Amino acid sequence: MTNKEQIITVDAKQISVIIPHYNGESILKDCLESLYKTTQLPIEIIVVDNGSSDNSVKMITDNFPKVTILKQKKNLGFAGGCNAGIKHAVTPFVLILNNDTVHTDNWIDHLLEKILSDDKICAVQPKLLSFQNQEYFDYSGACGGEMDIFGFPFARGRIFENIEKDENQYDDHSDEIVWASGTAFMARRELLVEAGMFDESFFAHMEEIDLDWRFRLMGYKIVVEPKSVIFHRSGWTLGAESPFKKYLNHRNSLIMFLANYSIPVLLYLLPLRILLDYMALGMSLMKFDFGRINAIFKAHFYILFHVKLIITKRKTAKKLRVINDSNIMKKYYKGSIAISSFVFRKKIIM
């Protein structure tokens, strides 16, 4: 039976769509309506409500009675909300999805077809376009996540604040990527559990990159499926200039960098990584970006006082590892994406 035939003839729920949610009933309503309109697959939808103070829960019960609601007493963040949904699900595949997305026809079908095509694929991301400017890629993952050797993420179609117009320029590239955006990706539930799911100490931002790093240590692939397209209201929860968002990005990037590299590679790259952080601090000072300056200092202090967390994560990575760093790093940008972009003005094509 071909993969296409598998999708057409499936009559049992194979996919649980997990939506972590905190306030914003109108965007959630748009998302749920779009889900039901864009696929005929018998999906299960699980909304993990992180203690919303608006009428989100009532809106779901009034309009979408088939949706499962997991009510949380407090805001568990993106990571904790997703983990609650993953633990509740029993289907072989889960689809992590942001509540501020809308979708094109058969987008889930394309993801399922892709993940079924190769047992080594553990996660697959759709093409993400901006809801506000639909001819352009979305900031949060564009056409697949990439990363440099220092742990700084970027994406095909988005490097820092430079966002490209989607002209299908990445549709024919190799489908393997470094990370799949937490905005939307389908994964094998069994492997999610084996990898330890999302690290809840991250709270939000880059936890999917950390998770995908562990997937790759386990010998699995993360891919993008450009035939699957959705639109994302990027920055709805935390705006791009949020000091808290800047702090989480710097802190979480450092955590995953320290946790997932082997000791020899870490000893080589860490001094350079610290230097890059302080170069960023100097540039922020010239721009009077005190929010980012504070974020960098806070991130470094957090690491100094949470060594035990790093050691625990390193032990987990070591247990999962079947692939060495030289193979892992083949997919990384060989250098600093920040220096290449801001100093040498290079056009990066992965």
3-state secondary structure of 96: strand
Report pLDDT digits (tens) over 126-148.
Answer: 999 999 999 999 999 999 999 99
Architecture of domain 3-232: Alpha-Beta Complex (3.90)
- pLDDT value, residue 303: 96
In order of 151, 154, 179, 224, the CA distances from 162 in angstroms are 19, 10, 19, 20
- The greatest distance separating any two alpha carbons of the chain, rounded to the nearest whole angstrom, comes to 61
- pLDDT value, residue 130: 97
Where do the structural domains in the chain lie, given as residue ranges? 3-232, 243-342
Phi, psi angle pair for 31, to nearest 5°: -65, -45
The rounded distance, in Å, linking the Cα atoms of 337 and 53 is: 40
Buried b / exposed e along 81-109 (16+ C-beta atoms within 10 A): bbbbbbeebebebbbbbbbbbbbbebbbb
- pLDDT value, residue 237: 55
Residue 85: enclosing H or E segment and its boundaries? helix 77-88
* pLDDT tens series, the chain, 350 aa: 334 434 333 456 899 999 999 999 999 999 999 999 999 999 999 999 999 999 999 999 999 999 999 999 999 999 999 999 999 999 999 999 999 999 999 999 999 999 999 999 999 999 999 999 999 999 999 999 999 999 999 999 999 889 999 999 999 888 999 999 999 999 999 999 999 999 999 988 899 999 999 999 999 999 999 999 999 997 655 555 678 888 999 999 999 999 999 999 999 999 999 999 988 888 888 888 888 899 999 999 999 999 999 999 999 999 999 999 999 999 999 999 989 887 666 666 65
The rounded distance, in Å, linking the Cα atoms of 87 and 253 is: 26
- pLDDT value, residue 6: 40
Q: Which of 205, 164, 201, 199 is nearest to 183 (CA)?
A: 205
Q: Which two three-digit tokens encode residue 167?
A: 């002209």
The rounded distance, in Å, linking the Cα atoms of 78 and 263 is: 30
